[in-house]
Structure 1
């Protein structure tokens, strides 16, 4: 397995997992104004909702699935894998001030997009926490998402697209009901926002596919 590394500037490579979708406006969020900075991006629940990616040429947009943290469970022995399980399910990491999400389909790929808004230290903290969890759980673990048991395995590092202050790229094979599906995930931070893009092939049985970089790029632009 490749070594884990985090770059504070543009991009970083990490390990891997899978995805469902995030909740649209989930999380108990009563964000007032957060201290702004040169790359802070959205600073309120309303601004975050407007910042989540919408129109991308060639893609159809749908609402997020509504899966939340309470819907994701791991065994007590795998409790340290919960951040990975949340990222796997498209659930915003940690305790964001507000959450927004959508699903996009195009180019043969289904992509769940989840944005979480954090305070000044929250974004870097959840990125670090996910990195540590990935190191601990790289060998795989069992997770239940909305009552459905899944097995996460073959966690590998992939190259994250550039454009954010921090970014992690993951790949994994996830088995559910006897079917194994490859998934590619990018988790990134831009200012006070942490975004998660979880991609799976739209066609069952596809063994490999290209991560939809254009969706990532469109989301980065919306956060500028």
Structure 2
């Protein structure tokens, strides 16, 4: 895959991709951040909406429950900043039924939200003797690119919902993912992201959880993303993950960010 094509996909697709590029090339903020969004369990495929009113976390409680540095081994956790914020009216889709998926991708809350916290979780480079970022910058071949950029960046949006709004948001996302499995286009800040497919993945956690591989396309070049949603009581966390090496067309094994999901699940328990 051409480097320019990889970069276009990364920039167009999500704040997570932008974070990976920025961090890999020069570091990121040390401020801890918290965020999240939940979804319905892909493993069970059935609703587990609580019969009693779900517990609603306040803004302060949600911040405490959000991920912090040290919660995910081998990763750096930072607070999302103003540049990572996408307003609800800033997301446009060519198929209205797909809007809940686009919202989940960009960390946008659904109706009934009480509080929100957002985080960026980025793999730390490993000192294992493999090719470095400097090697990749010198153009030392595909292996250097794969080794240097085999880092996963995950954007986590954690939302607290009132009443049944949390379970309702999960149900809407599950339906939208099924309806839009064949693809759609989402536009944010004038930049379109063309999704060509959504494939269900397995994930467990919370009261319900679900996950997908979201494949985007730009100029004939495809790139995979991972989208996960997790709900515990009235709190919903969404995770949108990107791996630049996997987008480079290499044989990098890019999986659902299970460690990040598990860490967030533990803090919501």
- Asked if these proteins are the same fold (TM beyond 0.5), I'd say yes
Residue 79 (structure 1) aligns with: 96
Among 221, 226, 230, the alignment partner of 1:188 is: 230
Residue 75 (structure 2) aligns with: 59
Following superposition, the deviation at residue 73 of structure 1 comes to: 0.7
Contact 1:19 1:87 in 2 (8 A): no
Q: Is 1:46 matched with 2:63?
A: no
Residue 210 (structure 1) aligns with: 255
Aligned length: 191
Residue 210 (structure 2) aligns with: 168
Q: Which moved more, 1:149-158 or 1:174-183?
A: 174-183
> Are residues 139 and 38 of structure 1, via their aligned partners in 2, closer, same or farther at CA, if it must alter by over 3 Å?
closer
Residue 124 (structure 1) aligns with: 167
Report the Cα distance in structure 2 between the residues aligned to 1:93 and 1:179, rounded to whole angstroms.
Answer: 31
Following superposition, the deviation at residue 90 of structure 1 comes to: 2.3
Following superposition, the deviation at residue 91 of structure 1 comes to: 1.8
Query: Unaligned 5+ residue runs, structure 2?
Result: 1-12, 17-32, 36-51, 125-150
Residue 34 (structure 1) aligns with: none
Cα RMSD (Å) = 2.5
Query: Unaligned 5+ residue runs, structure 1?
Result: 1-17, 26-36
Contact 1:24 1:66 in 2 (8 A): no
Contact 2:79 2:119 in 1 (8 A): yes
> Are residues 178 and 90 of structure 1, via their aligned partners in 2, closer, same or farther at CA, if it must alter by over 3 Å?
farther
Report the Cα distance in structure 1 between the residues aligned to 2:54 and 2:172, rounded to whole angstroms.
Answer: 22
Higher helix fraction: Structure 1 or Structure 2?
2
Following superposition, the deviation at residue 170 of structure 1 comes to: 0.8
